[in-house]
Amino acid sequence: MTDVLMPALMPTENIFPLFVEAMFTKNFLLIMFLGLCSYVGLTTNSDTSKGMSMAVTFVMTMSAILTWPIYYYLLSPASFLGKDLTFLKTICFILVIAAFVQLVEFIIRKFSPPLYRSLGIYLPLISTNCAVLGVVLLNVQEGYTYGASIMYAFGAGLGYSWVMLATAAVREKLIMRGVNLFNGFIGAFFAAMMVALIVVSYFSVVKL
Amino acid sequence: MAKKSFVGEIIRGIIKDNPVFVLVLGLCPTLAVSTSFANALGMAMAFTFVMLGSNIFVSLLRKQIPADVRIPIFILIICTFVTMIDMMLEAFLPPMYDALGIFVPLIVVNCIVIGRAEAYANRNPVLPSIADGIGISIGFAAALILIGTIREILGTGGLKLVMLNVINGDPGFYPLSTIPGFSFVPEVISFHIEPAVVMITPPGAFLTIAMLMLLFKILGDRKRVKQLRKEGYEL
């Protein structure tokens, strides 16, 4: 273990602010614009958005757990290979995420058919969800420690979930009232604007 | 399959299959980097490189790619080009690399590129695939630059037009006036309006794209009504 690797392993930052940042002030859907495809497509119904949020939170946290060691023990110049392979990070991360999602799908299908029926259709969508790849890329780009990166990913997943559920609530209510505009993509963007406006204006007044 | 013209394929990609406003794909980079004209242009260039490279190679290899594992193979092909453009941006255009951030590596999970590989390049010869790539890229670039320009004008009250140029052997995005023939363009075009800062914040992005989509929907509906009237329907 050389000195280059040490900063990444040392707990230099406080983990809790990072968690809040990922969940609210730098929310993945509303502020960073990651994972919008699933957001626009699935928030017409609160049940589907609940399933998708659970699946995304789980996959995000697990991919942060899996990719951090791969980056620092295989790709970084300080690893035992001794070569700078960091340019391979995108390709490695996407393969890890896709393989992990496939594995989870097999396991859930074998052991819990009811859970598979509720989550199963969303799992293949997750491997190409930019929020998941985004969180692992941000983890290594910002140089978070192992613990911090797991917390950051978990916070990002929870942030994704609450925004999905909040928007689904807004849209479902308006669709039920007969505002047909909220059925389509346009309505999703108007709903997103309302929720984003709330978050941005709240956190411009309340400083964490 | 009917024979299609090269130009016709390009125009279809821009208007009928516009990736952002019609197919509603690739929304993340569209909203995230469209804070200004310059960022939109940089993203559009990176995207065009990846889109063309992926379409050409998927189309060349379409008879070799086994159907069962085609998506992972598409992702690997796309990832190669994304890594190339990522390293090139880092080496030659560091300010743009910093401004675009993680959205360059994230082109690899961009639904437009995977979608075109799956729906078009995997079934068509190389030349139409190139036309499709060019058309879709121009359509994406037009949407990005439109949103970026609107947000920059409303959010800052002015517009900074830039273009890729090399000055003293130093590549970068310089004001349009540095390009020969465009020296009459001022560096910042001022519109004399009170800037609404909300437009360059995230809610502004959602508002802009929602309003634009509403506008295109109204225009499309009007065209349809006109066409139906012409066919003799009472509306």
Three-state SS for B165-212 is EEECCEEEEEEHHHCCCCCCCCCEEECCCCCCHHHHCHHHHHHHHHHH
Whether residue A203 is predicted with pLDDT greater than 50 in this model: the reply is yes
User: What's the CA gap between B150 and A149, in Å, rounded?
Assistant: 36
CA atoms within a 13 Å half-sphere pointing along the CA-CB vector of B192? 0
**In this complex, is the C-beta atom of A129 within 8 Å of any C-beta atom belonging to chain B?**
yes
Report if residue A1 sits inside a domain. no
Residue length of chain A: 208
Residue A6 included in any domain: no
Asked if the Cβ–Cβ distance from B83 to A91 is below 8 Å, we say: yes
Specify the pLDDT at position A3: 46
Q: How far apart are CA A7 and CA B215, in angstroms?
A: 51
Q: In whole angstroms, give the CA distance from residue B90 to residue A7.
A: 23
Residues paired with residue B165 on neighbouring β-strands, in sequence order: B172
Tokens of B37: 């004209």
Confidence band of A1 (pLDDT split at 50, 70, 90): very low
Whether A106 is covered by a domain: the verdict is yes
Question: Which residues neighbour B91 within 8 Å (Cβ) at sequence distance 6 or greater?
Answer: none
**pLDDT score for B60:** 95
CB count, 10 Å around CB of B196? 14
∠ Cα A45 B211 B105 (to 5°): 70
Q: What is the DSSP annotation of chain A?
A: --TTTHHHHS--S-HHHHHHIIIIIT-TTTTS--SHHHHHHHTTSHHHHHHHHHHHHHHHHHHHHHHHHHIIIIISTTSTT-S--GGGHHHHHHHHHHHHHHHHHHHHHHH-HHHHHHHGGGHHHHTT-HHHHHHHHHHHHTT--HHHHHHHHHHHHHHHHHHHHHHHHHHHHHHHTT-GGGGSHHHHHHHHHHHHHHHHHHHHHS--
Mean pLDDT of A15-33: 88
Domain range enclosing A85: 14-205
CB-count burial class (<10 Å; 0-12, 13-18, 19+) for B151: buried
Distance linking the first and last C-alpha atoms of chain B = 36
Spell out the residues 6+ positions from residue A86 whose beta carbon is closer than 8 angstroms to its own.
A71, A75, A76, A77
Q: Which residue has the tokens 């999970």?
A: B109
Bin B169: left if φ > 0, else alpha if -120 < ψ < 50, else beta.
Answer: left
pLDDT beneath 50, residues of chain B: 1-2
ipTM of the complex: 0.83
Q: What is the mean pLDDT of chain A?
A: 84
- Quote the pLDDT of residue A121: 67
- What tens digit of pLDDT does each residue of B55-69 get? 999 999 999 999 888
CB within 8 Å: A138 and B108: no
Q: Measured between beta carbons, which residues in chain A are less than 8 angstroms from residue B202?
A: 30-31, 33, 196, 200
User: Of the candidates B54, B163, B32, which has an alpha carbon nearest to the alpha carbon of residue B104?
Assistant: B32
In the numeric block, the tokens 């505009």 are attached to A181
Residue A86 sits at φ, ψ, to 5 deg, of -65, -20
- How large is the average pLDDT for residues A126-150? 89
Q: Is B196 on the interface with A (CB under 8 A)?
A: no
* Interstrand relation of B188-190 and B162-167 (parallel, antiparallel or unpaired): unpaired
pLDDT for position B235: 67
Calculate mean pLDDT across residues A50-63. Answer: 90
- Yes or no: say if B175 and B151 are a contact pair by the CB < 8 Å rule: no
Q: Reply yes or no on whether the pLDDT at A119 is more than 50.
A: yes
Q: What pLDDT band is residue A128 in, cutting at 50, 70 and 90? A: confident
Which of A33, A129, A186 comes nearest B210 by C-beta? A186
> Is the predicted pLDDT of residue A9 greater than 70, yes or no?
no
Is the Cβ pair B203, A200 closer than 8 Å? yes
Mean pLDDT of A137-162: 92
Window B:104-123, CB contacts with A under 8 Å:
105-106, 108-111, 114
Partner-chain contact A98 B27, CB within 8 Å:
no
Pick among B147, B206, B215 to test the A interface (most A CBs inside 10 A) = B206
Instruction: Please give the tally of structural domains in chain A.
Output: 1
Tokens of B1: 């399959």
Inform me whether the pLDDT recorded for A161 exceeds 90.
Answer: yes
Res A208: pLDDT: 63
b/e A95-113 (16+ beta carbons within 10 angstroms → b): bbbbebbeebbeebeeeee
Confidence of residue A11 (pLDDT cuts 50, 70, 90): low
Asked whether the predicted pLDDT for residue A150 surpasses 90, the reply is yes
Whole-angstrom Cα distance, residue A47 to residue A98? Answer: 25
Contacts of A34 in chain B (CB under 8 A): 28, 32, 106
**A2, pLDDT greater than 60:** no
Tokens of B155: 């959010």
What's the N-to-C CA distance of chain A in angstroms? 37
A131 part of a folded domain: yes
**Residue A2 resides in a domain:** no
Q: Which of B129, B110, B8 is nearest to B60 (CA)?
A: B129
